Amino acid sequence: MWAFYCFLLVALVVADYPHRVARNERRPPPCMYRKSNDSGTDREPCVYEDFDLVDPSTLRREIYMYVLMDHLAELQRQAYSYPARNRVVGGPAHNETIEYIAGELEALSEYYDVERHYFDGNVRISQHVVLRVDGKPMVAEGLGYPRPQVVKGRLVPVTAWGCNPEDYPDSVEGNIALAAIDGLEWGTSQVNHKSTCSFNQIIAAALVKGATAVITAAIPEERASKTDIPVLQIWQRDAWALRLQLEEDPVGPWAEINVHDYPMKRVESYNIIATTRHGDPENTLMLGAHTDSVAAGPGINDNGSGTAALLELAIQLARFRTNSRVRFAFWTAEESGLKGSRHWIERCTEEELDEIRVYLNFDMIASPNFKLGAYDGDNSDYYIHAPKGQARAGPRGSEHAEQLLNDFFWSQGWNTSSSPFDGRSDYGPFIAKGVPSGGTFTGAERNKTEAEWVMFGGSAGEPYDPNYHLEDDNMDNVNFTAFEMNVNAIAHALGTYARGFEGFPERGPRPERVKRFDDEDDSVELKTGTGSLCGGRVRTGVHDGVLYRG
C-alpha cells in the first residue's frame, strides 16, 4: 500500500512539472524583477528599447488558460480560508486579494510604477431587497436604506414621476406607489428614464399621501443613504408589463417587499494602480477591474474573472515595449457603490484626465449563461435617456472602443450582443468625467433573450448568471469558454491601443461640473498612502462629494 501511495505522489509531481516549468517560462524577462536571487543583489538592467513592440496577436499567444485558472483558484482559496467565505471589502480575504495583486505587480518594478491608493470610508457590506408581485419574484434595486422590514400592499399607479404629493391618488394610503410608468415606450431596452426630481422629493411626496413604499421605473437625480420607507427601482420592461396589467385590472396586483439588513462598516482598503514606466504619458490606455465581492460568496465571476484577466495581461505585457503609456487599475469597494474608482478619479485634474485616451472596464466576463459583446459606447442599441430626454452616447471615442472589441469577436466567428452603457460598473465615474470608455460584460441577473439564445446557445429566459451575488459564484460555475473569448478580446484591445491611437477620435470637451448628493454616512476620508494619487498628487482631508456629469 505504501508503495502505491509513493508511486501516486511521484506521478503527481511529474505530471505537475511541465505545468510549473511552463508557468515559469511565461514570466517576463528576469531583468524586470527587483532582485536576481535570495541574497538581494540587483539584476542587470533591462534595455527597454531592445524589447519587441507589443503586437495584439503575439500578446494573445502569451496568455494560457491554466495560468488564468491558477489566479481564479487563488482568489477562491482566499475566500474559503475564512468563515465568511467571501472577499468583501475590508475583510481578511479581500485584503489577501489586494496583497496578491500588489505582490505580482510590485515584483515587476523595472516595468511598472505601482501605487497603493489608500481608501478609508463607510461602506455597506451587503444590500438585499426582495420584491414579489403576485407571488412572483421581480428584479429590483433598493435606492435607499430603510430599516429592515416587510411591506405588503396593492400597487397603485402614480402620475408622472411622483415628485409632488398631488401625483399620488388617495388610494395609495397604506399601499405601494408605482411611479414613472406614464409615457413608457415599449421596446427591447432594459434601461430606465432619468427622473426629473431628487430622491428625497419622491420620498417626501409619498409620505405625505401615506404610501408604505415606492417602486419606480425612473433613476432619481440623487440617492439617499437613509430613508423612512423602501424605494425600489425596477427595469423599464418590467414596469411596462405592470402598466399593461393595471390597464386590464385597475385594482392592481399585490406586492410584497422584504428589506433585509444593510450593515454599514468603516473600512480601510486600497486601489492598486500599476502604470508602465515607459510610453507616451499624453496617450494613456487605462484598464480596470474591481477586486471585491459581495458578502454572499467568493465572487469568482463577479469579479474574479476580470481581476485574473487583467493581472495576467499586466504580467505578460512586461515582455514588450509600448508606444502608449498603459495603466492597470484594480479597484476596491465596487460592490459598495463604485467607491474605489470614484475615489480615485474625483481627484484627477483636467490635464490628468485628458491624458487618458480610453478607459476599458472588465466586470463579469465568464457568466455561465453568457452573451458576448462590448458596451454600447455609441448608444445605438440601447436608448438611455439623458435629463433632457435626449439619447446619450458615451464620451467621444467610446464608439471606437466598442467597434474594436466587436470587430475582434466577429473576426473570430463569434456573434455579439452589446450591453447598455449605463455606468453600472467602474466605468461609470469615467464616462461621468467625459473619459472615453468601453469594455466587455457577459451578463448578470437579467434573462437571456430568444435572439441571444440563437447567437450564443445556453438557456433562453434564464439569467446570464444565476449565481449573481450568491454563494455559488465560484469556480464550479464559471464558463471558461466565455472567459477565454473575453480574455482574447481584452488582449487584442490592449495590444492595439498600447501600440498607439491611430484613427482614434480627438479628445472631446470636458463635462460640466456638478455637486453630488452625499451625507455624513457616505463620507470618505483621504489619507496619504504609499504611492501618488492620479498623476503624483497626494491630498488629505474629507471627501468633498464632487462628481462630473456629461
Catalytic residues: 334
Q: Contact, 168 vs 204, CB < 8 A?
A: no
Cα atoms in the 13 Å half-sphere on the side-chain side of 472? 7
Per-position DSSP letters for 18-30, written without gaps between them: HHHHHHHHTSPPG
Q: Cα dist. 193→98, 205, 354, 429 in Å? A: 37, 19, 30, 19
Burial of 242 (0-12, 13-18, 19+ CB in 10 A): buried
Per-position DSSP letters for 185-225, written without gaps between them: --SS----EEPSS-HHHHHHHHHHTT-SEEEESEE-SS--S
Beta-sheet pairing, 280-290 with 264-276: unpaired
Nearby residues of 334 by Cβ (< 8 Å), 6 or more positions away: 290, 291, 292, 303, 340, 341, 363, 425, 426
- Please give the radius of gyration of the chain, using alpha carbons only, rounded to the nearest integer: 24
Neighbours of 45 (CB within 10 A): 9
Q: How far apart are the first and last CA of the chain?
A: 71
CA 405, CA 442: separation in Å to the nearest integer? 13
Q: Cα dist. 354→252, 282, 358, 383, 434 in Å? A: 51, 8, 10, 27, 9
HEC letters along 204-215: HHHHHCCCCEEE
Q: How far is CA 415 from the centre of its chain?
A: 23
CA 455, CA 409: separation in Å to the nearest integer? 13
Residue type at 503?
Answer: G
CA 371, CA 477: separation in Å to the nearest integer? 15
CA 513, CA 368: separation in Å to the nearest integer? 40
Q: Which of 187, 189, 167 is nearest to 177 (CA)?
A: 167
Task: Looking at 326-390, list the stretches that DSSP marks H as alpha helix, in order from N- to C-terminal side.
Answer: 339-345, 350-355
Set of cell numbers at residue 547: 462628481
Q: Which of 112, 427, 442, 406 is nearest to 288 (CA)?
A: 427
Residue 61 — φ and ψ, nearest 5°? -70, -15
Residue type at 496?
Answer: T
370-403 per-residue burial string, b: 16 or more CB within 10 A, e: under 16: bbbbbbbbbbeebbbbeeeeeebbbbbbbbbbbe
